[in-house]
Amino acid sequence: MSTDEGSIVPLQEFHAFVVRCMKALGISEDHGSSLADLLVSADYRGHYSHGLNRLDMYICDVRTKTTVADGTPEIIKETTATALVDGNNILGPVVGKFCINLAIKKAKEAGIGWVSARGSNHFGIAGWYGLRALESGMIGMAFTNTSPLMVPTRGKEPVMGTNPICVAAPANNGDSFVLDMATTAVALGKIELAARKEQPIPEGWAVGIDGKSTTDPSRMHGMCPLGGAENTSGYKGFGLSMMVEIFCGILSGSMYAHRVRKWAETHKQANLGQCFVAINPEAFGEGFTDRMSDLMQYCRNQDPAEGETEVLVAGDPERIHMEKCDRQGGIWYHPNQIKNAEEIARKLEVEPMKTL
């Protein structure tokens, strides 16, 4: 279905389109498929900031050779439960997949696996790595630093990244808690999407060059930390961002905070730092999934506030969005997103995405 209101693209069609684009750039089908898995998962789960919206960025980095087209991650240091990995500047999702799989393997052997990575690139939604841990019955965590975008509390220049956090935990009968959040008030991609759709952004998402809040995405100079201004606890988001930086850039020896390349700089390597953790609940108290289910259901069963229909826990909005995609036969995209994808196909001389 393709109309002025948008188009629906089947999941498998979007996946195949990403692989075609990557093959046109000299990326192997295996690496291209990993990137496609992540981008499809992002939009399928409703995180439109990190799916099709990000394809341009990966293409640009490969074309300018700031991300290399071929290679494998390398384990630099290793203990029973930990590892330091050099991503060797290949696609971030390929590095991240290697690292979370290594963390899961270690957690099966030692109860926990903690893997720190350097020499990586943009790895997409952090939740994708937590979901991989869930498939093995593990608690999964993932963190990454990013280009300096967040303006610290009381400051006016970007210093920290959006520095996302993911924590995923299994419950009974396939249920799960999946927290996937930026430590800024919002993911950068949501501001980019607003700009692409020519829409204003809410107060508290971004600041202009004067450090004051702006609702015009084109005037954004920096992003607000989670919580916004100081009087609404923005310093907590700032603190969480620094925590992520400790786990990622500082621990791995990669670039960190203000030393990471600026957003959209394509003339030098990103050298991002990332962290992946898997925890085996069986190494701790019995009945983890029972207690997890009890907690989640207790929260969901609360009487909703006036005007609301239900109480949700982390992961529920994504499940609702996936069910909607399944009913409509694919992922809905704004006309401007489809237009952008068609332009990508034209430039790379690949077959464009088909819509329903």
Convert the pLDDT of each residue in 72-131 to its tens digit: 999 999 999 999 999 999 999 999 999 999 999 999 999 999 999 999 999 999 999 999
Q: Which class for 215: exposed (0-12), middle (13-18), buried (19 or more C-beta within 10 A)?
A: middle
A 10 A CB-CB count for 130 gives 29
- Find out whether 162 and 223 touch, Cβ atoms under 8 Å: yes
Vertex 82 angle, CA 76 and 84, to 5°: 25
pLDDT at 1: 44
Q: What is the chain's length?
A: 356
Sequence-ordered list of residues with C-beta below 8 angstroms from that of 287, at least 6 positions apart, any chain: none
A 10 A CB-CB count for 269 gives 16
180 φ, ψ to 5°?
-140, 105
Sheet of strand 112-120: strand arrangement = 74-78, 82-86, 112-120, 272-279, 139-144, 165-170, 176-181
pLDDT at 155: 93
Average pLDDT over residues 203-226: 94
Q: Which amino acid is at 252?
A: S
Sequence-ordered list of residues with C-beta below 8 angstroms from that of 347, at least 6 positions apart, any chain: none
pLDDT at 198: 87
Half-sphere exposure of 314 (CA within 13 A, CB side): 16
Q: Which residue has the tokens 């489809």?
A: 338
Tokens of 103: 């963390």
Domain ranges for the chain, please list them. Answer: 1-63+323-356, 73-181+233-301, 186-223
Q: What is the overall mean pLDDT for the chain? A: 95
Same fold, 1-63+323-356 and 186-223: no
Reported pTM: 0.94
Separation of alpha carbons 46 and 331, rounded Å: 9
Q: Best-predicted range by mean pLDDT among 60-64, 172-176, 190-194?
A: 172-176
Separation of alpha carbons 197 and 234, rounded Å: 27
Give the DSSP letter of residue 228.
Answer: -
Rounded to whole angstroms, what are the CA distances from 183 to 64, 204, 208, 228? 29, 13, 19, 11
* H/E stretch holding 162: none
Q: What is the SS3 assignment for 9?
A: strand
Query: For 2-51, what is each residue's pLDDT tens digit?
Result: 445 889 999 999 999 999 999 999 999 999 999 999 999 999 999 998 99
pLDDT at 2: 46
Runs of H (alpha helix) within the chain: 11-24, 29-44, 52-63, 92-110, 127-134, 188-196, 234-245, 251-252, 288-300, 316-328, 335-348
pLDDT at 265: 80
**CATH number at 73-181+233-301:** 3.30.1370.60
Average pLDDT over residues 319-338: 96
Instruction: Go through 94-117 and write b for each residue having 16 or more CB atoms within 10 A of its CB, e for each that does not.
Output: bbbbbbbbbbbebbbeebbbbbbb
pLDDT at 4: 55
pLDDT at 189: 81
Q: Which residue has the tokens 């508290």?
A: 204
pLDDT at 323: 98
Is the predicted pLDDT of residue 286 greater than 70, yes or no? yes
Q: Could you say which architecture CATH assigns to the domain 1-63+323-356? A: Orthogonal Bundle (1.10)
A 10 A CB-CB count for 2 gives 14
Is the predicted pLDDT of residue 190 greater than 80, yes or no? yes
pLDDT at 95: 98
Q: Helices 127-134 and 29-44 sit at what angle, rounded to 10 degrees? A: 100
Question: Does the domain formed by 186-223 have CATH 1.20.1250.20?
Answer: no
